[in-house]
Amino acid sequence: MIELIEKTRDGVELTLPDVERLIRGIVNGEFPDYQLAAWLMAVYCKGLSDNEVFWLTNAVAKSGSEVTEPLGLVDKHSTGGVGDKTTLVVAPLVASLGIPLAKMSGRGLGHTGGTLDKLESIPGFQVALSREQIARQVQQIGLAVVAQTEELAPADKKMYALRDVTGTVDSIPLIAVSIMSKKLAGGASNLVLDVKVGNGAFMQSIERARDLAKMMVRIGAYHGRRVRALLTRMDQPLGYAVGNAIEINEARQCLQGGGPADLREEVIALATHMVSMGLDLSIEDAKGKVVNSLDQGMAWRKFEQWIEAQGGDVSAIQQDLLLAPYRKEWVASEDVTVGSLNTLAIGQVALELGAGRHQLQDSVDPGVGLTCFAKSGAILKKGDLIATVYARSEAQAQQAIQQLQQAIALDKREQEVMGSQDAVMEVIVSNGDLA
């Protein structure tokens, strides 16, 4: 291990046997945490070559039990943001068009919400399914969204835990390996990546987001997977709702043909690329099918099927799920223009209300959360609703409103209003992909 640390520290490329030895030693516990931490810091400071990234991704993917027969044709991954509820809509939307999808999702940590936490706010919904149950459900209804199994890419779990406590999370090669190793192990041949950009995302600059996206597309191409990466805006919450049950409520609105315009736009973009890849269609033809499914209720009916299949109470989602009892509104006291939003701070407000977790073992309150109706550049009239908070106490609700007032900049002067910005900033594909 000392030799591997020294090689990476000095910028000397590891060989394929080096990489395989490294991952073998991580999984069997041969290499102590302090040595692995030293190697991770060397990677953070010096980076990795493309070959090292390709080999490392493959070795991590093979460190546990691999999916020999993919359960789904397409998959999706988001790098995480505030109000990012796209999987709740995209998964049934894609499945409604006859494209099987078996997706492993995660839990929220810090200011980013987790898909599993949101789904568990539906009474009875089960996220822990056996491989046999997943296969049977995908065969029956074409869709399952479940918790990642312990056997999937265990080397990544070990590496991520150490990255989290050694200041090496923010390394593009290590992020790419972590994401793509799990996707390779999952088996789907087509993957759409939603790479968030902005002050509510891990990638705050478009340059770093683009570098990450390009690296993940190259990893996919090297391993014979078709990958498309969409760079999407995260300089304000996606949609209005931030929380768990409250995001299920907003996802329902979107699935029924309504919901916030920015959420609908991003869902259509992601689903269009998944359908284009899954059915081998042009972007234009795929988009037509996606919009039709949303507007004709096909996606909503698939959502109901899915919730029922995983034990959820379908009658509960026919209306809004119950939210925490203390509701407090922030209303514009005069005519104002919305300036910038500190999206990270808005996510932190939801976190402090109990909608997220500081550590993985923390519990999550499904009923708390907020709606933020302020969008950058919007003109608000006196009396317009800016935000609503749902909390477990009057004091928590009041504090949350005060924090939101610090996170959202309002200007009393009339300003030139920004035009609406496209949710998707760029699409990155591998050579030969006709997206």
> 374-383: per-residue pLDDT in tens?
999 899 999 9
> Where do the domains of the chain lie?
2-47, 74-317+424-429, 326-411
Confidence (pLDDT) at 418: 56
Q: 212 CB contacts (<8 Å, ≥6 apart)?
A: 79, 172, 175, 176, 195, 203
Confidence (pLDDT) at 202: 84
Confidence (pLDDT) at 400: 97
**What are 316-373's pLDDT values in tens digits?**
999 999 999 999 999 999 999 999 999 999 999 999 999 988 777 788 999 999 999 9
**In whole angstroms, what is the distance from residue 139 CA to residue 378 CA?**
46
Range scoring the smallest mean pLDDT among 29-38, 138-147, 264-273, 411-420: 411-420
**What are 252-305's pLDDT values in tens digits?**
999 999 999 999 999 999 999 999 999 999 999 999 999 999 999 999 999 999
- Please name the residue that has the structure tokens 């706010």: 121
Confidence (pLDDT) at 112: 73
Confidence (pLDDT) at 435: 58
DSSP-derived secondary structure letter, 189? S
Backbone angles phi, psi at 136, to 5 degrees: -65, -40
Question: Would you place residue 66 in the very low, low, confident or very high pLDDT band (cuts 50, 70, 90)?
Answer: low
Residue 233 identity (one-letter amino acid): R
More confident position, 401 or 166: 401
- End-to-end alpha-carbon separation of the chain, Å? 43
Full-model pTM: 0.93
Element (H, E) at 336: strand 336-341
Q: 210 CB contacts (<8 Å, ≥6 apart)?
A: 231, 426, 428
**What are 71-119's pLDDT values in tens digits?**
788 999 999 889 999 999 999 999 999 999 999 887 776 677 789 999 9
Which residues are designated catalytic? Answer: 77, 156, 163, 178, 182
Q: Is the pLDDT of residue 144 over 80?
A: yes
User: For the domain with range 74-317+424-429, which CATH number is right: 3.40.1030.10, 3.30.1780.10, 3.40.50.720, 3.40.640.10?
Assistant: 3.40.1030.10
In CATH terms, the fold of domain 326-411 is Aldehyde Oxidoreductase; domain 3 (3.90.1170)
Question: Would you place residue 315 in the very low, low, confident or very high pLDDT band (cuts 50, 70, 90)?
Answer: very high
- Which CATH number applies to 2-47? 1.20.970.10
Question: Would you place residue 417 in the very low, low, confident or very high pLDDT band (cuts 50, 70, 90)?
Answer: low
Q: Is the pLDDT of residue 209 over 80?
A: yes
**In whole angstroms, what is the distance from residue 337 CA to residue 351 CA?**
27
